[in-house]
Amino acid sequence: MQKPIALTNNKKSIRLPVDKILPFLIPIIVILFWQVSSSLGWLSSSVLPSPMAVVQDGIKLTQSGELPKNLSISLYRATVGLLIGGGVGFILGFINGMSNTCRLLFDSSIQMFRNIPHLALIPLIILWLGINESAKISLVAIGTMFPVYINTFHGIRSVDPDLIEMGKSYELSRSQMFFKIIFPAALPQILVGIRYALGVMWTTLIVAETISASSGIGYMANNAEDFVDMETVILCIVVYAVLGKISDLVAKSFESLLLEWQNTGRSNV
């Protein structure tokens, strides 16, 4: 809920949505300080180009079509990797959470695999799949699979047994038990996993595109480094930050939509 503050001048009152302004305050101050430092010559453009120079570089690369092309390929890799990894993680979490036999069979092996840093698999993936799309998508998929798996598995395993017993007393079938009780009860934890996976998704993609790619935002940054093009390097970092923030906002919106009941309080009693 927004907390408006009232600035009164005898006749009119202006209301400022403080909750909406505050999160942007620090980034705005940093950018302003950065621009002023560059303009006054405190910061050399070879160390850190000014925000205006980065924006101009962004406009130039957008007009040439280079930025949209690399952005779309990065988004494609990220989305497909997340869908595959998240999907596999959810299915594994679901079957291991629901069945003790599956848990005994799979969980130990999955935990062993999970403890290998997935970025350490890059040389192996390149040897197996080369530097084409499937290599980068596979890396993103492996990275995002585990957060979704762990959270789905724990979400299902930690459903209140009293609710399960209540469902049994109502003679719910297995599918009814899953869709009416287990899945909604595990959903908050599953969404935590997805949110975490989104962070892993971008990190993995940056590394994969920097090491082995001929397109994408990571490739753009790497290529700019070769030409000592600081504006583009900074632009790529900013693009990653914006993409990360947008992903987080999308995940938060899903949480608000699907977990509406958590935001209700005892207002009418």
Residue with tokens 């993409």: 243
Judged by CB under 8 A, the residue of 31, 75, 163, 237 near other proteins is 163
CB 150, min distance to other proteins, A: 22
What is the secondary structure of 83-142 as a DSSP string? HHHHHHHHHHHHHHHH-HHHIIIIIHHHHHHHTS-GGGGHHHHHHHHTTSHHHHHHHHHH
Q: x/- site string to other proteins, residues 143 to 162, per CB under 8 A?
A: -------------------x
Site string for other proteins, 187-206 (x = CB under 8 A): x-------------------
Tell me how many residues contact other proteins (CB under 8 A): 24
Residue 41 to residue 138: CA distance in whole angstroms:
45
Structure tokens at 132: 């084409």
254 binds other proteins (CB under 8 A): no
Half-sphere exposure of 7 (CA within 13 A, CB side): 5
Q: Is 169 in the site for other proteins (CB under 8 A)?
A: yes
Yes or no: say if 208 and 139 are a contact pair by the CB < 8 Å rule: yes
Among 15, 168, 245, 252, binds other proteins (CB under 8 A): 168
Task: Using CB under 8 A, pick the residue from 87, 184, 199, 244 that binds other proteins.
Answer: 184
Task: Give the C-alpha separation, 200 to 147, whole Å.
Answer: 9
Nearest CA to 84 out of 74, 73, 76 is that of 76
Q: Does 226 bind other proteins (CB under 8 A)?
A: no
- Binds other proteins by CB under 8 A, chosen from 170, 179, 241, 249: 170
Smallest distance, other proteins to C-beta of residue 266, A: 5
- Residues forming the site for other proteins (CB under 8 A): 162-163, 165-172, 180-181, 184-185, 187, 259, 261-262, 264-269
